[in-house]
Amino acid sequence: MNVVSWRHLLLLVLLATATLANAADEAGRPRVALILGGGGARGAAHIGVLEVLEKLRVPVDCVAGTSMGALVAGVYAGGVSPAKMREELAKADWDDLFQDTPPYFQRTFRNKVQDRRYLPASETGVGPDGLRYQSGIVTGQKIKLFFNELVGDHLGQRRIEDLPLPLSIIATDIVLGKQVVFRSGSLSSAMRASMSVPGLMSPVEIDGQKLVDGGLVNNVPIDEARSRCQADIAIAVNVGSPLLKADEIGSLLSVSAQMVNILTEQNVVRSLATLKPTDIYIKPDLEGITAGDFKRTSETADRGVAATEALADRLRPLAVSEAAYAAWSGKIQLARREAPTVDEIQIAGLKRVNPAMVEQHLGIKPGDAISPASINSDLMKVYGDGYYEGVDYSLDNTVRERNILRVTPLEKSWGPNYLRYGISLDSNFDSNSSYTLRLAYQKTWLNHLGGEFLVSGEIGSVNRVGMDYYQPVDERQRYFVETNLAYGSQMSSVYQNDNKLAEYRVDRGVAKLGGGINLGTLGQVRAGWEENWWDTKLDVGSPFLPALSKRYGGWFAQADLDRTDRLYFPTTGWFSRLSYFDSAAEGFSKLNATAGVYASIGDWVLNSRVSYQGSPIGQLPIYDSGSLGGVFNMTAFAPGQLKGDDMTYGSLRAERIIGRLPLGLRGDMRLGLMLEAAKVGTPYTETELKGWINSTAIYLGGETPLGPIYFGYGYSTSGSTGGYSNLYLLLGVP
């Protein structure tokens, strides 16, 4: 026998020995089930548990999870290592994930306009059966896309039944109040359903069932795991939140949380009662970590490590050899491969919305490979159109060996007709306080091109009614025609040397007919004809300005561009707005132009803004003059205190972020300093203010469920007397 033959024989012997050793390990060890309970952010402790099991070489035969435990269990069964899981959860921006809306610059111009006038969270559906509402604070759009990326859905939809490690995910049928167990179907969808905390996240509809957090019925699913793989030993990990103490219950949110905790605790007690002496129970010390502490995932995982290492002596008998563990681990790991090339793209599930509206946002084309970051960005742009409660995708490679990218927008169940609300309170704690309540009824998708009709009204310091009809002329809504009618009345104050001399009642009607171009998410340009009706009458005080009635018309053009990341309290981006009106019959034109830029450095946000109001042709008449005054518009002065022609304004703001609102709520809290300057070429009021006028303001602001809130003080040293000042409070939509 030659040397080569001997080497072959030796190799065969070694392979046979390793195989027999692995088989012996498998034959001699008990079947192990791993159970990962729910607990919100506290569930990151499960990662630490998995890290220790990996270190000790303890394989498991099946895994079951609920809520956050379902997330960790699903990702683990999907072949992601504990180390990679820790990395991905730690770097995730959980504040952003719990906000459905895309960055402000990715929203359409029409949505931006609606957000400026009405509270984004106020949208209420109107249907034949009455009013309908979104079923959670967030729909979970970004969370679902995050789950897709975690489990590798861009490589082809991961299905539970195809995973090498048997998996069970627990959810609750909110209609029937019963447990739903996922042993098959979309992995990421089952994970999302199991994490739908009632009230916070909208239920997930799968196979006609409305599903929410599985913790309501089975937070530590021991029995399900045993039956899943006929396990001899159960390793159960409980990370549930303890019941709140009496002094911790003081709000509606805390009461709701306590109700969920009570339901969860009851079923956990029942589950734990089924543990056998041979089972292993792990309860990490998570004192001080709440269900919402997602920014502390690494610390929480470390506590899972500590709790599991404390039970190492009980776990070691379940260990297998290095070879056997390597074979088991290799079997469940997610195979590394190139992203597949898309052969076909399908838009599925739409009933009202034209598919072209979805297609225009998709950068991927047949022949391209899927990039998770790119497809997620595209779908967020689709979501930003405002017509959907969710936009998802799947990659199907089961039909004729072709990769079909199926985009599935889910139209709002509470649409397509809506009520919208807004509130505004503006006070300087003097005689200039105003309030306004707003209400609008919007009908969308009146035809296949996306026609919309809006009726709006305001009551309070401003009384106004309006009607708008918007009609796109192509499927992608690049071009449109629009008509606007509005009539309203409000009070306008006249000042001299910081003294209010009079108040005029101003009645105004406006009719516009025009058309324009939508520039994607960048903005919009439009032009058309505008007709105005003015009627001013002295209400109280001295007749400083003449009463008059006026009708005039002219051509208008507008451009509105916005690349800021938020409507209120932006951190980055820029904007510019330009409007021009020319009334040849009256011999004047009016130019309004403003631009601003935002930049952030750590917790500091810097902003600069400039604006101009004036008449390039002729002079602005008193009935259509420029105006300055009010918050962030020469803050030391009352709203409209400065009136005139040829008005130039500039400001610099520096804001320090001093706090952030909790998950599910947008925005942050800021302390700011602002320097302002303005020059009125031809003043109609405050005529003693010559040249450049200054204003300095300090303020505290943040975003609330009712809109932004600002509280601050503005002061100016301008004028012969100086001492112009304004203490102000602003709440709601400006």
Task: Give catalytic residues, as residue numbers.
Answer: 67, 213
574 strand-pairing partners: 597
Angle, CA of 367, 371 and 374, to the nearest 5°: 105
Looking at residue 670, its amino acid is: R
| Phi, psi (rounded to 5 degrees) for 326 | -60, -40
Question: Which residues 6+ apart lie within 8 Å of 464 measured at CB?
Answer: 456, 457, 458, 486, 487, 488, 489, 490
Q: Are 214 and 224 in contact (CB under 8 A)?
A: no
End-to-end CA distance of the chain: 93
The residues facing 138 across adjacent strands are: 201
Specify the DSSP class assigned to residue 186: B
CA distance 638 to 685: 12
Where does residue 6 rank: exposed (0-12), middle (13-18), buried (19+ CB within 10 A)?
A: exposed
CA distances from 560 to 257, 302, 334, 633 (A): 43, 50, 47, 19
Tokens standing for 589?
Answer: 């034109």
Q: What is the largest CA-CA distance in the chain?
A: 122
Helix and strand numbers, DSSP H then E, in the chain:
15, 32
* Closest C-alpha among 165, 155, 473 to residue 336: 155
How far apart are the C-alpha atoms of 573 and 566, rounded to whole Å? 9
DSSP for 449-470 reads: T--EEEEEEEEESEEEEEEEEE
Q: Where are the beta strands (DSSP E) in 77-142?
A: 124-127, 130-132, 136-138
Q: What is the 3-state secondary structure (H, E, C) of 577-617?
A: EEEEEEECCCCEEEEEEEEEEEEEECCEEEEEEEEEEECCC
Q: Name the β-bridge partners of 32.
A: 233
Cα–Cα distances in angstroms (integers) from residue 321 to residues 22, 25, 26, 334, in the given order? 8, 7, 10, 22
Counting other chains too, the contacts that 331-335 makes at CB distance below 8 Å and 24 or more residues apart are 331/164, 332/77, 332/79, 332/163, 332/164, 332/165, 333/79, 333/81, 334/78, 334/79, 334/80, 334/152, 335/79
Pair of tokens at residue 629: 């005054």
Strand pairing partners for 459? 437
Q: E strand or H helix at 368, and its extent?
A: none
Cβ–Cβ under 8 Å, residues 451 and 470: yes
Instruction: Kindly give the residue spans of alpha helices, DSSP state H, lying in 118-156.
Output: 141-151
The CA distances from residue 95 to 120, 142, 149, 299, 407, in Å, are 18, 11, 18, 18, 26
